Structure 1
Amino acid sequence: MAEDSSIEPVEGEAPVATPAKRKITRKTAILAAVGGVVLLGGGGGAYMMLAGGAPAETEAAAEGHGGGGGEAHAKGGGEEGGEGGAHEPFDVPPIMVNLRSADGAPHFLKVHVMLLPGPKATEESLKAKLPLVLDAYQPFLRELRPEDLAGSAAVFRIKEELLLRTREAVGEGEVAGVLIQDLIQQ
C-alpha cells in the first residue's frame, strides 16, 4: 500500500505528503529546446540590429572630425582601398517591359535599379557598358510572368538574376551589387 500512495508514514510522526515526480516527456524536451533556440536567436538578432554598425560609424566620424591627418585619411581612404562601398551607386534608367501572360491580358513591369560599383569600376566604364547591361536585362524581364513576381522571395530572385546578368555583361569586379529602387507591376 505504501508503494501506491504518495504518503509515506514515518514512525512516531504524522504521515507527510510528498509530491509525485514529473516525468520529462519527449514533447516537453523538444518544446524546451525550441524555446531556448528562439530566445537565443531573438537575443542575438536584437544585439546585431542594435549594436551592429554603430562602432564602425563612430570611429569613422571621430577620424573625420579629428586633426588634419584624419581628413586626409578620410578623403584618400576610398580611392586607395578601391572598396566597392566607397563609390557612389550608379543609376540605371528605369526599364519598362511587357510580361508574358497565359491569358493574353497586357501586363507591364517597370524596374528601376542602381548598380553598386566594384573595386575595378569607374563611373565612365559603367556608363560606357550601360547598353550591354540593358540588353542583358531585357530578355530576362520579358520572360517573367506575373506569378513570378508574387511573394517576398521574388524580389531576392530578381536581384540575384540581375546581378548575374550584369556581371556577365560588364565583367567580374566591376559591379558589387544591384539595388532595386522600384519594381512596379501593372
Structure 2
Amino acid sequence: MGIWALSEPTDTLNEEGEDGAVVAPPKAGKKKLLIIVAAAVLLLLAAGGGAFFFLGGKGDPKAEAAKAETAKAETAKHGEGSEEGAKFVDIPAMVVNIRSPDGAAHFLKVHVMLVPGTMKEEEIKEGLPLVLDAYQPFLRELRPEDLAGSAAVFRVKEELLVRTVAALGEGSVKDVLIQDLVQQ
C-alpha cells in the first residue's frame, strides 16, 4: 500500500492488485464443495439401490412358486418326504495309508454315510464287509495330488458310489455322503 492510503487491510486472505486495490480470492472452494456433496449423494443413492436389490426386492411370484415345486419334486424323488424319513447307514471311519511318490508316509481318513435306495438299512449293514473290501484298494491307490483341488471330493464320492453299487447291487444305494476326508 502506498503512504497516502489510510485504509487498513480488511482480510488476511485478500491480496493487493497492481494498482493497490484489494482483490478477493477466487471462489473455487464453493465449486469443490458442491462436487464433493454431489458425489456423496450419488454414492448414497447407489448403495441404497444395491441394498434394495439384494435384500429388499421381491422376486417374481411365479418364479418363486416354480422353485418351491422343483424343491418339492426333488424331495419326493429322493424319498426324504416319506413317512419314514431318510435313513442313513453310517460306515465307520477308515484310515488308510496312501501312495506317495517321495516315499513318505501319508494317511487318509475317510468317514462316509450311505443313503439307502431299494435296500433296507439292515440289508446294507449286512453287506458292509463287502463295501469296505471294495473301498480299500481304491483308497490305498490314491495319491496326495489326487486329493488336491475342489473337484477331488466329488471324484472320490462318485468312485465310492460306483464301488458301493458294485458290491451291493444296482439301486441298493442312492448316494454316498462324505462326512470326513482328511489327508495327513
TM-score relative to the length of structure 1: 0.56
**Which residue of structure 1 aligns with residue 148 of structure 2?**
150
**Which residue of structure 1 aligns with residue 125 of structure 2?**
127
Counterpart secondary structure, 2:151: helix
Q: How many angstroms does 1:123 deviate by? A: 1.1
Q: How many angstroms does 1:52 deviate by? A: 3.5
Q: Partners of 2:116 and 2:63 in 1: how far apart?
A: 26
**Ranges in structure 2 where 5+ consecutive residues have no aligned partner:** 1-61, 76-80
- Note closer, same or farther for the CA distance 1:49–1:93 as it changes in structure 2 (3 Å cut): farther
**Which residue of structure 2 aligns with residue 116 of structure 1?**
115
Q: Residue 101 in 1 paired to residue 100 in 2?
A: yes
Q: Partners of 1:48 and 1:126 in 2: how far apart?
A: 40
Q: How many residues align structurally?
A: 116
Q: Residue 172 in 1 paired to residue 165 in 2?
A: no
Q: Partners of 1:48 and 1:154 in 2: how far apart?
A: 34
- Note closer, same or farther for the CA distance 1:107–1:177 as it changes in structure 2 (3 Å cut): same
Counterpart secondary structure, 2:165: helix
Equivalent runs, 1:72-111 vs 2, <5 Å:
77-78=82-83, 86-111=85-110
- Note closer, same or farther for the CA distance 1:48–1:106 as it changes in structure 2 (3 Å cut): farther
Deviations 1:78-106 (A, max 9, x none): 46xxxxxx431111100110010010100
Q: Partners of 1:48 and 1:179 in 2: how far apart?
A: 30
Q: Partners of 2:113 and 2:169 in 1: how far apart?
A: 17
Say which one has the larger Rg: 2
TM-score relative to the length of structure 2: 0.57
**Which residue of structure 1 aligns with residue 29 of structure 2?**
none
- Note closer, same or farther for the CA distance 1:49–1:105 as it changes in structure 2 (3 Å cut): farther
Q: Which amino acid aligns with 1:98?
A: N
Equivalent runs, 1:12-91 vs 2, <5 Å:
52-53=67-68, 77-78=82-83, 86-91=85-90
Counterpart secondary structure, 2:112: strand
- Note closer, same or farther for the CA distance 1:180–1:77 as it changes in structure 2 (3 Å cut): closer
Q: Residue 183 in 1 paired to residue 178 in 2?
A: no
Q: How many angstroms does 1:173 deviate by? A: 1.2
Moved over 4 A (4+): 47-51, 53-57, 76-79
**Ranges in structure 1 where 5+ consecutive residues have no aligned partner:** 1-46, 61-75, 80-85
Counterpart secondary structure, 1:165: helix
Q: Which amino acid aligns with 2:132?
A: L
Over the matched positions of the two proteins, sequence identity in percent amounts to 65
Q: Is contact 1:78–1:87 with CA below 8 Å preserved after alignment?
A: no
Q: Which amino acid aligns with 1:113?
A: V
